Amino acid sequence: MSVLTARPGPASTRRDPSDRARSRARQGGWGVLPTIVLLVGAFYCLVPVLWVYVAATKTRGELFTTFTFAPGTGLGENLTALFAYEGGQYLLWCLNSLIYSGVGSLLSVLVSTMAGYGLAKYEFRGRSFLFLSILAGVLIPGIVLAVPQYLLLSQLGLVGTHWSVLLPSIVSPFGIYLSRVYAMSAVPQETLEAARIDGAGEWRIFRTIVLPLMVPGMVTVFLLQFIGTWNNFLLPYIMLSDQSRYPLTVGLFTLLAKGSSSPALYSVAITGAAVSIIPLLALVLFLQRYWRLDLVSGGLKG
């Protein structure tokens, strides 16, 4: 039943049918109101998404003349124009977004998991200093760092390369913090001690025992990081100048900016936006059930 928490607990007993019927009877007229509120919220959130799919079917003329929610006749034409734009740049942008988000988040999860486990399960000198520094890092907005990161990477000659977007995307103080919280509750100290008595080395314990235990936390950190990187705009916008290295956000932005002088590109930008939403929508809907956002809300109980 529960998609996001996958945790049947007291909550599911609260929701048994007889209970529901009883409380509805008690509330009388209040009964429908919550559902209406929910539907209004859903409508508000879905309207722009519906709009972009309707608009993607319109020809350039129809876009500015017909009623906004009346479907048009130009879907095929728009898709052809989108994928043909400057020799297929759009597909490159998709691929780049996938590389930055996919590779970056995978590396980020590995680094965060190791660090989170180290911070959670070992006593060592400098531990609290390290943890506090990372907590402070959570408060420093990534975007504010983008300009200094640009200055630094330009000294190293990396500006304009894939690395200039990928490397800063690996660091995630919030990911380290979440991994630590998850390791504290999901990895029992006794299991570690038992493995040590059996003579297992620390790295082997991590690989064979800790990693499998931490998978739900890793999925959560991965998804947060993936969506964060996918949605990031300013960092790649600052770092990259060659449009064949752009991610989708920067590519669509430049399309729209050019659109003010050549309105033909408006249809291309709209269609590009419509297409770009599909993979992420699928990812979120599919992975919703695997991630543990109670980790973020602090409601985690081991």
Partner 1 sequence: MSTTLQPARRRPRRRQVAPYLFTAPAVILYVAFMLVPVGYAVWLSTRAYRIEGALLGRKTEVFVGLDNYVAVLTNPEFAAGFGRLAVYGVIAVPLTLGLALLFALVLDTPAARLKRFGRTAIFIPYAVPGVVAALLWGFMYLPSTSPFSYVTRALGLGTIPFLDGPGLFGSLANIAIWGGVGFNMIIIYTSLRSIPGEIYESARLDGAGEVQIALRIKVPLVVPALVLTGVFSLIGTLQLYSEPATLQPMTSAISNTWVPLMTIYRDAFGTDDLPQAAAASTVLAVGTVLVSVVILRIVNRKRMGVER
Tell me the C-alpha distance between 107 and 101, whole Å: 10
**Please, what is the minimum distance in Å from the beta carbon of residue 17 to partner 1?**
10
Which residue in the set 72, 74, 104, 118 belongs to the binding site for partner 1 (CB under 8 A)?
Answer: 118
Which residue in the set 61, 95, 127, 194 belongs to the binding site for partner 1 (CB under 8 A)?
Answer: 127
**Please, what is the minimum distance in Å from the beta carbon of residue 133 to partner 1?**
7
Per rule CB under 8 A, is residue 160 in the interface with partner 1?
Answer: no
Query: Does an H or E element contain 50, and which?
Result: helix 33-55
- Copy the structure tokens of residue 267: 């249809």
Summarize the chain as % helix, strand, coil (round to 5).
Answer: 75, 0, 25
71: exposed, middle or buried (C-beta count within 10 Å: 0-12, 13-18, 19+)? Answer: middle
Tell me the C-alpha distance between 94 and 90, whole Å: 6
Pick from 29, 88, 80, 26: nearest CA to 56: 80
**Please, what is the minimum distance in Å from the beta carbon of residue 152 to partner 1?**
5
Tell me the C-alpha distance between 89 and 83, whole Å: 7
Residue type, 197: I
Candidate ranges 30-38, 79-87, 88-96, 213-221; the one touching partner 1 (CB under 8 A): 30-38
**Please, what is the minimum distance in Å from the beta carbon of residue 172 to partner 1?**
9
Candidate ranges 71-79, 84-92, 213-221, 256-264; the one touching partner 1 (CB under 8 A): 256-264
Pick from 281, 295, 164, 141: nearest CA to 218: 295
Which residue has tokens 């740049």?
Answer: 89
Q: Is the dihedral of CA 18, 23, 24, 25 positive or negative?
A: positive
Candidate ranges 47-55, 72-80, 83-91, 212-220; the one touching partner 1 (CB under 8 A): 47-55
**Please, what is the minimum distance in Å from the beta carbon of residue 251 to partner 1?**
9
Binding track, positions 77-116, relative to partner 1; x by CB under 8 A? ---------------------------------xxx-xx-
Per rule CB under 8 A, is residue 151 in the interface with partner 1?
Answer: yes
Length of the chain: 302
**Please, what is the minimum distance in Å from the beta carbon of residue 236 to partner 1?**
11
Name the residue nearer to partner 1 (CB basis): 92 or 159: 159
152: exposed, middle or buried (C-beta count within 10 Å: 0-12, 13-18, 19+)? Answer: middle
**Please, what is the minimum distance in Å from the beta carbon of residue 115 to partner 1?**
4
Which residue has tokens 């709009």?
Answer: 51
Candidate ranges 25-33, 71-79, 80-88, 214-222; the one touching partner 1 (CB under 8 A): 25-33
Which residue has tokens 């390791």?
Answer: 183
Residue 267 · residue 113 · CB < 8 Å:
no
Per rule CB under 8 A, is residue 41 in the interface with partner 1?
Answer: yes
Residues numbered 167 to 226 that lie near partner 1 (CB under 8 A) are 167-168, 170-171, 173, 176, 196, 199, 201-203, 206
Name the residue nearer to partner 1 (CB basis): 91 or 156: 156
Per rule CB under 8 A, is residue 152 in the interface with partner 1?
Answer: yes
